[in-house]
């Protein structure tokens, strides 16, 4: 007698909602997950692939910082397969961390010669493990870059050169920190008004991330009303942009506007894609600034 056919219910996962829920949970605890998750390893702060040394980007930076609550000493990650290929192995019982990438799918609309093709973003996930979760990895894969030594009480020459090379009009000693889109300049208090280099560069990186949104650069909407969701979204982009840059230059991050946490929770609960969108735009801002800084010597030479 044949077995009866049993219907299986397959629940389709919503990856955008899963990521958003993780971030909202951290915010509701009163902690911004991009603040000071790396302070134990100053100078080796940006999560990267341990085999290629390529840094992770966007939301994966935040998610891998969150994972480091487990006490790992360095933000170096690799897949199960990469660990095996390197001659090592992931220890039995270890749980990996989910990271994500966006795959662009080509979808044709219509038929014949008039068919149009559009790109549809599809979120995909994969699992990575910290090198501390593995055994028998070569030292070159386990070890990160040497720590950069800096003085926390003085201005940082490398960060200052980076800021100068972007071409941003930063006016020190103006009392308050803000960006004026209409006149395209950044006002900053004097360095001495801050508790130290960490605080100063966190604030100036926040403002220079806003600066990338000018219509002549990345053209984000900077005209939204104070305390609106759109305004909160731009503040979130600036917070994340500052966190990415602080990690890159070895500064401890901080929350520029702690009062926005409640607004960010509301934003993320309303729009499940808001956090990934903010991460993507913050990454684009950081990339824009790097591009401007790298282009500066050639422009001077010309």
Note the pLDDT of residue 162.
97
Note the pLDDT of residue 186.
97
Dihedral angle over CA of 228, 229, 231, 234, nearest 10: 180
Confidence tier at 298 by pLDDT (50, 70, 90): low
89-90 and 134-135 strand pairing? antiparallel
Confidence tier at 102 by pLDDT (50, 70, 90): confident
Note the pLDDT of residue 301.
39
Q: Which residues contact 269 (CB under 8 A, 6 or more apart)?
A: 20, 24
In this prediction, residues 125-134 reach a mean pLDDT of 96
Is the pTM for the entire model greater than 0.75? yes
Lowest pLDDT segment from 17-31, 93-107, 142-156, 207-221 = 142-156
Please give the residue that has the higher pLDDT: either 163 or 46.
Answer: 163
Lowest pLDDT segment from 100-104, 283-287, 295-299 = 295-299
Residues 19 and 278: beta-carbon distance below 8 Å: no
Q: Is the pLDDT of residue 137 over 50?
A: yes
Instruction: Give tens-digit pLDDT for 220-275.
Output: 999 887 778 899 999 999 999 999 999 888 888 777 777 788 999 999 999 999 99
Q: Is the pLDDT of residue 210 over 60?
A: yes
Q: Is the pLDDT of residue 194 over 80?
A: yes
Could you tell me the end-to-end alpha-carbon distance of the chain, in angstroms, rounded to an integer?
A: 84
Helices (H) and strands (E) in the chain, counts: 9, 9
Instruction: Give tens-digit pLDDT for 151-191.
Output: 888 999 999 999 999 999 999 987 899 999 999 999 999 99
Instruction: Give tens-digit pLDDT for 56-98.
Output: 999 999 999 988 778 888 889 999 999 999 999 999 999 999 9
> The dihedral of CA 173, 292, 260, 66: what is its sign?
negative
In this prediction, residues 142-146 reach a mean pLDDT of 77
In this prediction, residues 118-128 reach a mean pLDDT of 82
- Count of C-beta atoms within a 10 Å radius of residue 30: 8
Confidence tier at 42 by pLDDT (50, 70, 90): very low
Q: Is the pLDDT of residue 1 over 90?
A: no
Computed over every residue of the chain, the mean pLDDT equals 86
**Which helix or strand (DSSP H or E) is residue 187 part of?**
strand 185-188
In this prediction, residues 30-34 reach a mean pLDDT of 86
């Amino acid at each position: 007698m044949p077995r009866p056919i049993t219907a299986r219910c397959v629940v389709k996962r919503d990856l955008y909602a899963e990521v958003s829920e993780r971030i909202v949970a951290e915010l509701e605890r009163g902690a911004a997950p991009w603040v000071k998750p790396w302070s134990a390893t100053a100078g080796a702060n940006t999560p990267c692939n341990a085999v290629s040394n390529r840094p992770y980007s966007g939301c994966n930076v935040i998610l891998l910082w969150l994972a480091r609550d487990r006490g790992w000493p360095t933000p170096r990650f690799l897949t199960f397969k990469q660990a095996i290929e390197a001659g090592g192995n992931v220890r039995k019982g270890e749980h990996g961390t989910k990271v994500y990438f966006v795959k662009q799918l080509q979808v044709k609309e219509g038929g014949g010669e008039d068919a149009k093709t559009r790109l549809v973003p599809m979120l995909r996930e994969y699992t990575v493990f910290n090198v501390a979760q593995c055994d028998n990895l070569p030292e070159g894969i386990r070890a990160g870059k040497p720590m950069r030594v800096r003085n926390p009480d003085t201005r940082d020459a490398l960060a200052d050169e980076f800021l100068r090379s972007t071409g941003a009009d930063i006016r020190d000693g103006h009392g308050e920190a803000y960006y004026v889109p209409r006149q395209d300049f950044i006002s900053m208090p004097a360095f001495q008004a801050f508790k130290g280099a960490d605080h100063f560069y966190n604030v100036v990186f926040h403002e220079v991330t806003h600066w990338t949104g000018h219509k002549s650069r990345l053209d984000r909407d900077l005209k939204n009303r104070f305390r609106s969701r759109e305004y909160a979204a731009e503040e979130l982009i600036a917070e994340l942009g500052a966190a990415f840059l602080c990690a890159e230059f070895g500064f401890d991050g901080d929350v520029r506007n702690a009062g926005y946490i409640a607004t960010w929770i509301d934003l993320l609960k309303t729009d499940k894609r808001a956090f990934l969108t903010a991460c993507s735009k913050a990454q684009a801002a950081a990339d824009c600034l790097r591009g401007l800084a790298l282009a500066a010597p050639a422009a001077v030479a010309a």
